[in-house]
Chain A
Amino acid sequence: MQDAWIPLALSLKVAGWATVLDIVFGVAVALALARWRSSARDIVDALLTLPLVMPPTVLGYYLLVLLGRRGPIGAWLDTLGIRLVFTWEGAVIAAMIAAFPLVLKSARSAFESVDPQLEQAARTLGMGETALFFRVTLPLAVRGIVAGALLAFARALGEFGATLMIAGNLPGRTQTLSIAVYSAVQAGDDHTANFLVLVTSVVSVVVLLVAGRLLPQHSLLTSR
């Protein structure tokens, strides 16, 4: 039974890294999209939202083909001694891409709902653009970003299809909670499956409760 803690710890590590990377890239891209005035904006937005609607197996196949040892990116990484297939870092990439649209969408709408007059007022008071972003725009948008990040964390925690394809099923190394559940069910080991499913459910409820506590007014996560 202590075996369940290894996949749980791995899942938390993978989802944590994926969420941190999603926040960094998601906020940057969301800001760019919110400010960019071009008709190509919607196309870029749609492309970046694809992981939300694409089957995870399609995403996993893209990743395997691109990041595999014989893929264009994977071959280059291989010369640097970096292997992503069958590693927990590969699982982070899969979870990160799968969850990215959730941060992007939330952050973009958060930035777009910031009142431009407030930013204009700060500028007239002599604030520089960098300070403006960190002291006016970001604080006004932070609630939406955090909401997106929590959803992304939950999504990353549940990632299965793409992760299985790129990171494989290596017990103790890439076997996350969802893959451990899959393995237990395939093997007909209902005892372990029941326990893992219970752990997963409890963790998911805790994530949603924490999200609700942090964001009492956010409609995406709570009914209030």
Chain B
Amino acid sequence: MNLRVSAVRHPVRTIALYMSVAAALSVQSAAARADELVVSAAASLTNAFRAIATAFEKVHPNTKVVLNFGASDTLLQQIVNGAPADVFASADEKAMDNAVTAKAVLPGSRRNFAMNSLVMIVPADSHLTVQSLRAALAQPEVKHVALGNPAWVPAGRYAKAALQHEGAWSIVEPKAVLASNVRESLDYVARGEADAGFVFGTDAAIMPKAVKIAATVPTQTPVLYPIALVQGSAHAADAGAFTEFVLSRSGQAILAKYGFQPPQH
């Protein structure tokens, strides 16, 4: 009753009100219509997966890709504890093995999609000479060595295993600055706070002015990146399409652009 009276008295105001309500509702329904696909990906995939997400959204305009980057085990902990992720891409097979054991991902959907290398980096202005890892890291001017925490960062796990194999872990351990993810170790070396560090080859390539590669480190196991669908995902079809896209020719071309190699089967 009152509404009708006021509508008669203030027709312009009422129309404006209806229009703004309609506009608000249409914005909301548009947001609800576009499917949000949450992709939890290893920190080393940051740049490549941003580009892949943009390319994927062009092909699938109704899907919005939400990227969540972090150390692989951090992402796994989030998924195990109920984070609404749909796709999980890790930087080593161990994190994915743990995901399978924890029933966090669908084992049948697991595929390797990229390969990487492990490198030892130093600040760009460093004069450190590297004949052998042991000798270089034992030098007294190397006070801090940045590497991902082997307890939850794949790059750190590869580095620790490689250093143990070289008999250099006991030299590095007291100098180790344990980073929360691989990009943090890159940042510590780029700022010159750490005198050396271990990251993936693709990470070092992001900051060519701040860091230089002192040595390519042979790893005990190949640096393989597995991807899988998260168990109980509400967007299983979109998630499947996304992993297919990563493995497709266009996805692989983007990964190659950022320095990743195709996985060896």
Contacts and interface: CB of A to CB of B under 8 A. Distances in A.
B191 interface: yes
B73 A187 contact: yes
Residue from B77, B192, B193 with most neighbouring chain A CB atoms (10 Å): B193
A41 interface: no
B43 interface: no
A169 B77 contact: no
A186 B71 contact: yes
Interface string A68-83: 1110000000000000
B71 A168 contact: no
Nearest to A69: B192
B178 A171 contact: yes
Nearest to B70: A186
Given A69-B193, A183-B149, A187-B152, A169 B179 contact: yes
A110 interface: no
Interface in B144-188: 144, 149, 151-152, 176-180, 188
A168 B178 CA distance: 7
B159 to A, nearest CB: 15
Nearest to B71: A186
A183 B193 contact: no
A150 interface: no
Interface in A161-176: 164, 168-171
B74 interface: yes
Interface in A153-193: 164, 168-171, 183, 185-189
A95 interface: no
A92 interface: no
A183 B192 contact: no
Given A186-B73, A186-B180, A188-B77, A169 B149 contact: yes
A60 B204 CA distance: 24
B172 to A, nearest CB: 13
B151 A183 contact: yes
Interface in B132-149: 144, 149
A169 B151 CA distance: 13
A171 B177 CA distance: 9
21 contacts: A68-B192, A69-B191, A70-B191, A70-B192, A86-B177, A168-B178, A168-B179, A168-B188, A169-B177, A169-B179, A169-B180, A170-B177, A183-B149, A183-B151, A185-B77, A186-B73, A186-B77, A187-B149, A187-B151, A188-B77, A188-B98
